[in-house]
A and B are shown apart, each in its own frame.
Chain A
Amino acid sequence: SAVISQKPSRDICQRGTSLTIQCQVDSQVTMMFWYRQQPGQSLTLIATANQGSEATYESGFVIDKFPISRPNLTFSTLTVSNMSPEDSSIYLCSVETRLGNTEAFFGQGTRLTVV
């Protein structure tokens, strides 16, 4: 298993500002993902964070709005840029420790409220 530390756990931000969320894993992982969960909804994949290269974004998500970094195999950041109230969600980091693993672990989540 992997222990994932996600920071901050929650934040209240002003519209138009940006927030960077950090995801730190206690061991090297093959895959890191970022998900968004809007209020009362299920999880939607934002992007796959690729080590040393640009993230792979899902349809409806763009790098300018959600820039992602992954400088090594244990750390990634997601930035929510130029925030609006519609960005109020829980953002979750997920990791897999090896390809084809039978488990997928999540961080504690970041509960973001934009006012």
Chain B
Amino acid sequence: AQKITQTQPGMFVQEKEAVTLDCTYDTSDPSYGLFWYKQPSSGEMIFLIYQGSYDQQNATEGRYSLNFQKARKSANLVISASQLGDSAMYFCAMRATTGANSKLTFGKGITLSVRP
């Protein structure tokens, strides 16, 4: 079984500053992938970044980077130079990358508010 934990309360960040959104996970699968999604108030789920469990380097995508610490089972999302448009819910998710079952398991999400 897989489990994603996101326990931070609503997060606030000043515009142009960096913010870290926490995510810890638990799995018995030897190979897995970790995802972050952004969900604005419109409801769509926007894919942000992916980290494979065997990737040697932390993933980066523009202003998004993933601080992957495998031994601690954490996959925190770092957003640099926050923008007002970053205000949204953020979900961490994972799935096994071996076997036929590739469904995603999601955390409860974190609300991020960017202040001008």
Contacts and interface: CB of A to CB of B under 8 A. Distances in A.
Interface of A: 31, 33, 37, 41-45, 48, 90, 92, 94, 96, 99-100, 102-109, 111
Contact of A104 (B35, B52, B108): B35
- Interface of A, secondary structure class, is strand
B72 interface: no
A111 B42 CA distance: 9
Contacts of B33: 102
Interface stretch (B7-15, B22-30, B75-83, B97-105): B97-105
Interface residues of B, number: 22
Contacts of A33: 103-104
Contacts, number: 52
A48 B50 contact: no
A41 B108 contact: yes
A96 B50 CA distance: 14
Interface of B: 33, 35, 37, 42-47, 50, 52, 91, 93, 95, 97, 102-104, 106-109
Given A45-B103, A104-B35, A109 B47 contact: no
Contacts of B45: 43, 92, 94, 106, 109
B102 A103 contact: no
A31 B102 contact: yes
A29 to B, nearest CB: 12
A111 B41 CA distance: 11
Contacts of A108: 42-44
